[in-house]
Structure 1
Amino acid sequence: MVTLIHDYEEVAAFGEGYSETAALNFQHKMSFYQKFIYTTTNDRKQVEYISHAKENTLLLIFSNSGRYISEYTHLTDAPSKKCFEETKAKVVLFTSNREMEKDPRVDLCIDWEYKDLVQNHPVLYQLLIERIAIAYQNKYGFPMEK
């Protein structure tokens, strides 16, 4: 995972609600390693970015349910989302929905087992982000130490 993040020219992270908070936290964390991640909380800009992303782009999607890939959950009747069918980017999905591993729009699914009725995925996201940052630092170093 960290090799992908390091090697891709363009990296963007998106989500909705708590998941977007994870994307923002990830953006902030990776800036310490001089790896700059694009994100925005504007859902229209997210869709536009995803639709037009090229092969040199890595999309990191935080979605506990996995629905971010397929529908606009905050719109009436949750209409279908088409931007993932249009993108040329590599899509990595962080989710607790193991069924998303089979989704052809997802290139890599990083999932976890979620058995709790309490919505604790914001905490799980933070642990995941910290784990990725530690692995990144172990492999590529910490620029501020140089």
Structure 2
Amino acid sequence: MLYGKLPIVFLSTLASEKKDSTNSQIASYLLNHLDDIKDIGIQEMAKECSVAMSSISRFCKEIGLDDFNELRELLISTNMSFEQYSTSSQSKDRLKEYSSKVKESIEMVEESIDMQQIDLLCKEIKKHDHIAIFGLLKAGSVAFNLQSDLLMLGKQAYSNISYKQQLQYISLADENDLLIIFSYTGSYFDYPDIRTLKNKLKKPQIWLISSKQESYPDFIDHVITFDSKRDQNSHPYQLQFIASLIAQEYARRI
């Protein structure tokens, strides 16, 4: 799992809320002061964010957390990390190294992707009227890209950057729904809130697009896998390549 739950729920809140909304204000403040507010109570947090305590409690519920205690645990346990692709002092060398890493990641997909599975997915996309495409953080932008490509091809699909809205859609999806999930590490269903949905699913058809793992949840119908170094640098490019490949192959069917 490259990213923890905190950046997922907070960044999805910032992306889906109005800039001057209370939830956006709280999320923005907490992200800007992570080291200062990791071990404070709800009253002090409300004061620091210039909102009422009830606003903090409502914020927790509306972004998909159980309560303030879960928010506090996330703040305490979250460590942000970023992977640098080069330590060279020369910008041209850094450019070349990064470009090489990206090219290598695309070649890994080219050599490992199962085109028969891509073809099967395209058949299902053409057949279904209710399609949702989801992902978290960078995978979320990939979902939007595939959504826009399909729209250009005359097929409408639903997507949402909000973590909470994704959960709500999945919980209501039934056998008429096709769900396409982009998850670089295959951990989309490992997040606690999503994991609890597995016993409530109404049998939607689920396709997971993920780097190769030892196992996947048994309620997933199909998995399209690819080889990967599982690093932050390869992450968006491999998934985006596959999303574009799906759109290209779907275009051949219309």
TM-score norm. by structure 1 comes to 0.83
SS in 1 for 2:253: helix
**Alignment-derived partner of residue 176 in structure 2:** 56
Highest Rg: 1 or 2?
A: 2
Tell me which amino acid in the other structure corresponds to 2:198.
F
Q: Which has the higher helix share?
A: 2
**Alignment-derived partner of residue 165 in structure 2:** 45
| Equivalence map 1:133-144=2 (5 Å) | 133-140=247-254
Contact kept in structure 2, 1:85 and 1:105, CA below 8 Å: no
2:213 equivalent to 1:98: yes
**Alignment-derived partner of residue 68 in structure 1:** 188
Tell me which amino acid in the other structure corresponds to 1:104.
D
1:116 to 1:89, Cα distance in 2 relative to 1, 3 A: closer
Contact kept in structure 2, 1:64 and 1:97, CA below 8 Å: no
Tell me which amino acid in the other structure corresponds to 2:210.
T
| Equivalence map 1:1-146=2 (5 Å) | 1-72=121-192, 81-87=195-201, 88-100=203-215, 102-115=216-229, 117-140=231-254
Shift of 1:116: 5.8
C-alpha RMSD of the superposition? 1.7
The structure whose RCO (Cα within 8 Å, separation 6+) is larger is 1
Residues 31-74 of structure 1, C-alpha deviations (whole Å, 9 max, x = no match): 011111101111111101001101010100011111111214xx
Tell me which amino acid in the other structure corresponds to 1:91.
I
Specify every segment of 5 or more residues in structure 2 that has no aligned partner in the other structure, as ranges: 1-120
Tell me which amino acid in the other structure corresponds to 2:150.
M
TM-score norm. by structure 2 comes to 0.49
Contact kept in structure 1, 2:139 and 2:182, CA below 8 Å: yes
Contact kept in structure 2, 1:2 and 1:132, CA below 8 Å: yes
Shift of 1:80: 6.2
Cα distance in structure 1, aligned partners of 2:169 and 2:185: 21
